Amino acid sequence: MTKLSVNINKIATLRNARGGEIPNLVKMATDIEKFGADGITVHPRPDARHITYQDVYDLSKVVTTEFNIEGYPSKDFISLVKEVKPTQVTLVPDPPGVLTSSEGWDTKEQKSLLKPIIAGFKEEGIRVSIFLEPNEEMVEHAKACGTDRIEFYTGHYAANYHQKEKEVLPYVQACKKAVDCGLGINAGHDLSLENLAFFIKQMARVDEVSIGHALIADALYYGMEETIKKYKAQL
């Protein structure tokens, strides 16, 4: 079954709005695992507007499921990940200052950047995934970069879910190419209780989804434990 990794950035955003430790990020992460999530995802950004580097260190001591750290491979980020040694690092092409991830890597043009960075992480025993558009050519070049997995950016699919049969087709085709290339397949960005099940059913394989914003918002209504059960049911 596809694993559910919960992105807890928004919990940190709520905490940071008032300062202090409410809600407590470490306790929330351990509770989320207890409620059935298969992993915890964080995305520390240079401005520390949600997850901080200290959060990453603190969480690394308590997360017992898969720990996934997302981010742009700056010098500081690379050092952090190599020190913490999470289960997985997910590389995203976000320059400093962006609001949220909004596109995948051009793995053809950026191969010279990505290849040595990916190799360096793998030497440390860290599984590597890279953010990707549903494009078969980009999948092939991702394989050439040496990555273990790709994570399909699903923002376009989610934004156009009203025509889901059309919007999912590029993902289906790119997924088949990834399977042929021997790559693991993750997916994330704006997946929700509304659109998740259809997406998963169309794909040849999805190893893991990373979901934050919609899941945390749903937890305001259903509570965290019930929300995780609902997302797991969709998978």
> What pLDDT does residue 100 have?
53
Concatenated DSSP letters for 130-181?
EEE-S-HHHHHHHHHHT-SEEEEE-HHHHHTGGGHHHHTHHHHHHHHHHHHH
In angstroms, the CA 211 to CA 126 distance is: 21
> What pLDDT does residue 95 have?
64
In the chain (235 residues long), the average pLDDT of successive 10-residue segments reads 97 95 97 98 91 97 98 96 98 69 84 97 98 96 98 96 97 98 97 98 98 98 98 97
Q: Where are the domains of the chain?
A: 3-234
In angstroms, the CA 216 to CA 43 distance is: 15
**Which one-letter amino acid corresponds to residue 78?**
I
pTM value is 0.94
> What pLDDT does residue 71 have?
95
> What pLDDT does residue 96 have?
58
In angstroms, the CA 181 to CA 186 distance is: 14
Exposed / middle / buried, residue 70 (Cβ in 10 Å: 0-12, 13-18, 19+): buried
Q: Which residues are catalytic?
A: 43, 70, 189
What is the CATH T-level fold of the domain 3-234, as seen in this structure?
Answer: TIM Barrel (3.20.20)
> What pLDDT does residue 46 have?
85
> What pLDDT does residue 48 have?
86
